[in-house]
């Protein structure tokens, strides 16, 4: 089965439970809130932005609370349905990182929070290129991802067959920040900041994480 189809079906299976477990996570993540605030400041009030791999919509809603005009995009119909139910005043629709369905230069920026971790290595250049296509020159991209865990080194893949008691077929890729930066640079982005951090106690899975802020080359 195509990796994107496997990801879609897996997140369809866990959509409701994922929203229960993860939907309130930002309350316990001050550094991520700070990165989103910086992103909002950079793109400017009212800017149209994308939340790529929006899941249950909590990041989309947070971006809206910061004064932006976000659209949440996710390949999972189950996740889109949950997001619409939780945040009926915000737009959510189907799409994927390499198939955003937006016009060229449509966004002032985009956020991809723990969504590119499901993109296969061979498919990441297409995803980076698609993000570059829809972000206007001078616009901003914030990518968040897992780097490693105690049993998962950088560059490794963790496979789930079961998640919260639901049958899934899902790969989690642990990404090298230098590799992500190189791929984004090849697509036309300039790296502006990288934050690497340890897991926040009691708020998330015990993985080392990164937030990469890049600007679309003018």
pTM greater than 0.75 (yes/no): yes
Number of domains forming the structure of the chain: 1
pLDDT band at 203 (very low <50, low <70, confident <90, very high): confident
pLDDT band at 164 (very low <50, low <70, confident <90, very high): very high
Q: Is 110 left (phi over 0), alpha (psi -120 to 50) or beta?
A: beta
**Structure confidence by residue, pLDDT tens digits, 134-146:** 999 999 999 999 9
pLDDT for the residue 202:
83
pLDDT band at 19 (very low <50, low <70, confident <90, very high): very high
CATH of residue 122? 3.40.50.150
Mean pLDDT of 181-194: 97
How big is the CA angle at 104 (ends 99 and 108), to the nearest 5 degrees?
100
Phi and psi at 163, nearest 5°, equal -140, 115
Mean pLDDT of the chain: 96
pLDDT for the residue 199:
94
Q: Is the pLDDT of residue 112 over 90?
A: yes
Domain that includes residue 190, residue range: 3-216
> Which tokens is 67 given?
């004064």
**Structure confidence by residue, pLDDT tens digits, 23-81:** 999 999 999 999 999 999 999 999 999 999 999 999 999 999 999 999 999 999 999 99
């Amino acid at each position: 089965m195509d990796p994107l189809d496997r990801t879609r079906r897996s997140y369809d299976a866990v959509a409701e439970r994922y929203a229960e477990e993860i939907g309130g996570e930002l309350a316990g993540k001050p550094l991520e809130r700070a990165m989103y605030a910086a992103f909002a400041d950079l793109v400017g009030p009212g800017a149209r932005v994308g939340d790529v791999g929006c899941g249950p919509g909590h990041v989309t809603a947070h971006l809206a609370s910061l004064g932006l005009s976000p659209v949440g995009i996710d390949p999972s119909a189950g996740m889109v349905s949950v997001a619409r139910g939780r945040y009926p005043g915000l737009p959510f629709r189907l799409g994927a990182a390499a198939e955003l369905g937006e016009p060229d230069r449509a966004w002032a920026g985009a956020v991809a929070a723990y969504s590119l971790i499901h993109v296969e290595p061979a498919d990441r250049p297409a995803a980076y290129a698609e993000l570059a296509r829809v972000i206007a020159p001078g616009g901003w991209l914030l990518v968040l991802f897992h780097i490693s865990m105690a049993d998962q080194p950088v560059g490794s893949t963790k496979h789930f067959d079961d998640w919260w008691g639901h049958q899934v077929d899902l790969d989690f890729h642990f990404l090298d920040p230098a590799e992500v930066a190189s791929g984004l640079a090849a697509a036309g982005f300039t790296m502006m900041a990288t934050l690497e951090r340890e897991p926040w106690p009691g708020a998330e899975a015990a993985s080392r994480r990164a937030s990469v802020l890049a600007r679309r080359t003018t």
